[in-house]
Structure 1
């Protein structure tokens, strides 16, 4: 059984004390494919080091996270473009719009999102979308940019059934993580009406740990709890869920 974590911040400072041991725990539990989203240029060196330490397991993305779209965002976007031109990455991400922390940057967030969508098209890469309190704004940009070469993952999907169907209509898989195990997460109420071919697994570690670890540091190995919950909701084996979602990740990332 191969389990794929399509979104995990393994370079996070939260893992500085035990990073290698934490990754080994996951690999020993068959979680052997880790897709690593970018935040901004300050993390690039740590991401490259991760890849160097675990070359068979680590697959890097490049992008500018919406909460890090600040006054210097054009310089950060230049870094993203420079990195994409130099070497192989597996997605442009995580990118998108976040209106939870700061609504005043909406204009430049949209500009950065659109610019990175076009970079993804240029390099024939998927996008990995971060959306927080911004479904309408994200969907508006996707509708304007929609094309056969725009595809990817709606990371940490927490919307409604209607929003799930809309995301899928834009060639997006749904990234399902710890929220599906929460009592008030709501997506557990309808997720089994979405075909499994539209779903990938993720942790967003060190954030959003599933039950029974909620509120604690998340780890990639905890993706097993997400897998078990989906197995229960879909009524098929853990092995089948792992196989289907890993195959879906290969379709998106090309590996």
Structure 2
């Protein structure tokens, strides 16, 4: 059984004390493929170091996270553009809009989001979307950019059933992680109506640990708990769900 964690920040400072042990534990739990989203330029070297240490398992993305879209966002976007021109990445991400922390930055977040979508199209890459309290704003941008060259993953999907179908209509897979195990997560109430071909697994570690680890540091080994929950929801064996979701990840990332 091969599991794919389509979204994990393994280069995060949260893992500085035990990163190799965390990766070893994940691999012992069947997680063999790790897709690594970017945040901003200050983390680029740590991402490259992680890939160098595990070249067969780590697949890097490049992008500017919406919560890191600040006054210097044009410099950061230039860094993203430079890195994409320099070497291979597997997605442009994570990118999007976050209205939870600071609504005043919406205009430049939209500008950064659109710019990075255009980069993804230029390089024939998927996008990985971060959306927090911003479904309408995200869908507004996707509606303008939709087409066969727009595809990717709606990371950490927390919307309702109609929003799920709308995201899928824009060629997006739904990234499902620890939230599906939360009592108030809600997506478990309708997920069985979404064909499994539209689902990929993720942890977003070190964030959003599944029950019973909620509130603690998340790690890729916990993907097995997300897998078990999906097995209950869909009434399928864990091996089958692991196989289908890993194949879905290959369809998105091309590897």
State the TM-score, normalized to the length of structure 2. 1.00
Displacement after TM superposition at 1:38 (Å):
0.1
> 1:211 — aligned with what?
211
Deviation at residue 217 of structure 1 after TM alignment:
0.2
The whole-number CA distance in structure 2 between the counterparts of 1:112 and 1:176 is 25
Unaligned runs of 5+ in 1: none
Q: Which residue of 2 aligns with 1:178?
A: 178
Aligned-pair CA distance for 1:86: 0.4
Instruction: Determine whether 1:136 maps to 2:136.
Output: yes
Offset from partner CA, 1:87-128 (integer Å, 9 cap, x none): 000000000000000000000000000000000000000000
Please state whether the residue corresponding to 1:156 is helix, strand or coil: coil
Query: By how many angstroms is 1:196 displaced?
Result: 0.1
What is the deviation of 1:179? 0.2
Name the SS of the counterpart of 1:222 in structure 2: helix
Structure 2: gaps (5+ residues): none
Structure 2 distance, partners of 1:28, 1:237, is 19
Distance 1:194 1:28 in 2: 30
Structure 1 position 55 matched with structure 2 position 55: yes
Shift of 1:147: 1.1
Q: SS of the residue aligned with 2:95? A: strand
Q: Which residue of 1 aligns with 2:159?
A: 159
Q: Which residue of 2 aligns with 1:84?
A: 84
CA-based RMSD of the aligned residues comes to 0.3
What is the distance in 2 between the residues matched to 1:232 and 1:8?
24
Question: What is the CA–CA distance in structure 2 between the aligned matches of 1:148 and 1:193, rounded to whole Å?
Answer: 24
Q: Cα distance, 1:28 vs. partner? A: 1.4
Distance in structure 1 (CA, Å) of the matches to 2:27 and 2:36: 15
Quote how far apart the aligned CAs of 1:51 are.
0.1
Q: What is residue 105 of structure 1 aligned with on the other side?
A: 105
Instruction: Note the C-alpha offset of 1:152.
Output: 0.1
Deviation (angstroms), 1:29: 1.3
Superposition TM-score, scaled by structure 1 size: 1.00
SS in 2 for 1:184: coil
| Paired residue secondary structure (2:215) | coil
1:132-186 deviation line (CA, Å, top 9, x unaligned): 0000000000000011110000000000000000000000000000000000100
Whole-angstrom CA distance in 2 between matches of 1:174 and 1:29: 22
Secondary structure of the structure 1 residue equivalent to 2:33 = strand
State how far apart, in whole Å, the 1-side matches of 2:170 and 2:96 are: 14
2:121 aligns to what? 121
Distance, in Å, in 1 between the alignment partners of 2:98 and 2:152 is 18
Runs of 4+ in 1 over 4 A off after TM superposition: none
Number of residues paired by the alignment? Answer: 255
Query: Which residue is 1:5 aligned to?
Result: 5
